[in-house]
């Protein structure tokens, strides 16, 4: 099992009340964490694209951040988690150009993740008046298969679709490493996992929060990936799940830090904006908040695998449980904890967990990409 980080520009209002530079600090802290993760042996970082989502995610121009990280890191793969390819948000040709440029700047370390937006507040900002937000899936499907053609055809043959069109043009640059970057999809429910598998896409499991739901998602995905008809040049057989991690030398002290980080305020914001996901009945509707977690609640989240929590031995044991359900990549979302705590978590996972569970020096996606290039 491989490991990564997820960053999103989390800027809760309670920080801004005390620090007018909280937004700037959030970005700088996340960049520092990614650089540390690169040195610690993490293989991936996923950088989100969100718009209009106050407090929850201020990271709207992720291509800019990814360009900075391409220069500041050496080994970690840089993923768009996501680039939104809906033509009303980003023209597909410009997305293809950005992906290829980032593949050059990172020396072939780019991972292309896509999705359809975080919910009505974001989506309706670009598609005002849309009554059925599930319609974004049809728009996404109208786009996704064209990216490999833009990268691999010398002159792109052009496209005339229901939602966008482009005459024949040379899409430049072409990706640095052939045939093209690995392709991923941010899935929110079981049917989406199956759909992504059928298209040969890796899944970014941002909505998988515990071991039970991970086992169901993995089963659905792996059952379908064997018969994939890939939209790209190769199948990216990969399922990634995102949780949080709080790791320290002293297991009890790190639990107190986790309580102080107020992780449930971030979760409240998830349901504040992701209203296209099923809303659990026990989760209050914004602006009512999920109560802050106490030590008992934090321990429960650790026991169910919702958090990697405790000292290095506890962290390794929990990560082994995630590996056992078949997850290919475990990614830790950061933001609630102070930078110094995040850096300690990264260091200890790098020293005690990654060497035990990720013994392959080559990235899983690199092997698949290289095999496709050799066979072409």
Give tens-digit pLDDT for 114-125: 999 989 999 999
Per-residue pLDDT, 336: 98
What average pLDDT does the segment 167-183 reach?
Answer: 98
Percent of the chain with pLDDT over 70: 100
Instruction: Look at residue 2 and tell me whether its pLDDT is greater than 90.
Output: yes
How far apart (Å, rounded) are the C-alpha atoms in residues 95 and 311? Answer: 42
Place of tokens 């064997």: 226
**pLDDT per position as a tens digit, 32-71:** 999 999 999 999 999 999 999 999 999 999 999 999 999 9
Instruction: Look at residue 292 and tell me whether its pLDDT is greater than 80.
Output: yes
Q: Whose CA is closest to 10, among 342, 366, 245, 337?
A: 337
Per-residue pLDDT, 212: 92
How far apart (Å, rounded) are the C-alpha atoms in residues 148 and 232? Answer: 5
Per-residue pLDDT, 239: 97
Instruction: Look at residue 265 and tell me whether its pLDDT is greater than 80.
Output: yes
Count of the separate structural domains present in the chain: 1
**pLDDT per position as a tens digit, 82-109:** 999 999 999 999 999 999 999 999 999 9
What average pLDDT does the segment 287-309 reach?
Answer: 97
Average predicted confidence (pLDDT) for the chain? 97
What average pLDDT does the segment 329-340 reach?
Answer: 98
Per-residue pLDDT, 70: 98
Q: What is the pTM of this model?
A: 0.98
Per-residue pLDDT, 155: 98
Instruction: Look at residue 189 and tell me whether its pLDDT is greater than 90.
Output: no
The residues that bridge with 310 in the sheet, in sequence order, are 247
What average pLDDT does the segment 269-282 reach?
Answer: 91
> Could you please report the per-residue DSSP string of 286-333?
TTS-PPPP-HHHHHHHHHTTSEEEESHHHHHHHHHHHHHTT-SEEEEE
Per-residue pLDDT, 221: 96
Q: What is the CATH number of the domain that holds 123?
A: 3.20.20.30
Provide the residue range defining the domain that includes 171. Answer: 2-375
* pLDDT category of residue 209 using cuts at 50, 70 and 90: confident
Per-residue pLDDT, 11: 98
Per-residue pLDDT, 279: 87
Strands (E), the chain: 2-7, 44-47, 77-80, 110-114, 159-160, 165-166, 183-186, 202-205, 239-247, 307-310, 329-333
Instruction: Look at residue 190 and tell me whether its pLDDT is greater than 90.
Output: no
């Amino acid at each position: 099992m491989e490991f990564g980080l997820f960053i999103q520009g989390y800027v809760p209002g309670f920080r801004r009340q005390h620090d007018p530079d909280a937004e700037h600090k959030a970005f700088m802290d996340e960049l520092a964490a990614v650089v540390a993760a690169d040195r610690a042996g993490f293989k991936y970082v996923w950088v989100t694209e969100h718009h209009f989502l106050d407090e929850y995610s201020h990271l709207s121009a992720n291509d800019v951040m990814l360009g900075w990280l391409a220069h500041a890191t050496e080994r970690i793969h840089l993923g768009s988690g996501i680039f939104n390819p809906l033509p009303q948000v980003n023209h597909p040709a410009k997305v293809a150009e950005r992906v290829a440029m980032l593949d050059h700047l990172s020396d072939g370390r780019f991972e292309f993740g896509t999705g359809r937006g975080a919910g009505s507040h974001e989506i309706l900002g670009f598609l005002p008046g849309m009554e059925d937000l599930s319609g974004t899936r049809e728009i996404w499907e109208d786009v996704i298969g064209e990216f490999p053609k833009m990268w691999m055809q010398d002159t792109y043959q052009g496209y005339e679709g229901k939602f966008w069109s482009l005459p024949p043009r040379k899409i430049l640059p072409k990706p640095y490493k052939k045939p093209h970057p690995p392709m991923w999809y941010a899935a929110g429910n079981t049917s989406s996992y199956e759909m992504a598998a059928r298209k040969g896409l890796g899944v970014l499991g941002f909505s998988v929060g515990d071991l039970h739901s991970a086992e169901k998602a993995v089963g659905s995905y792996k059952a379908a990936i064997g018969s994939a008809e890939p939209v790209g040049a190769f199948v990216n057989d990969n399922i990634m799940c995102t949780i949080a991690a709080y790791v320290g030398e002293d297991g009890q002290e790190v639990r107190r830090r986790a309580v102080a980080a107020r992780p449930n305020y971030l979760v409240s914001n998830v349901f504040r904006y992701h209203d296209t996901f099923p809303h659990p009945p026990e989760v209050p509707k914004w602006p009512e908040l999920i109560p802050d977690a106490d030590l008992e609640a934090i321990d429960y989240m650790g026991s169910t695998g919702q958090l990697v929590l405790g000292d290095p031995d506890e962290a390794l044991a929990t990560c082994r449980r995630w590996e056992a359900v078949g997850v290919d990549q475990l990614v830790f979302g950061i933001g609630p904890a102070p930078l110094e705590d995040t850096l300690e978590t990264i260091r200890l996972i790098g020293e005690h967990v990654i060497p035990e569970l990720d013994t392959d020096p080559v990235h899983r996606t690199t092997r698949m990409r290289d095999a496709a290039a050799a066979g072409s």
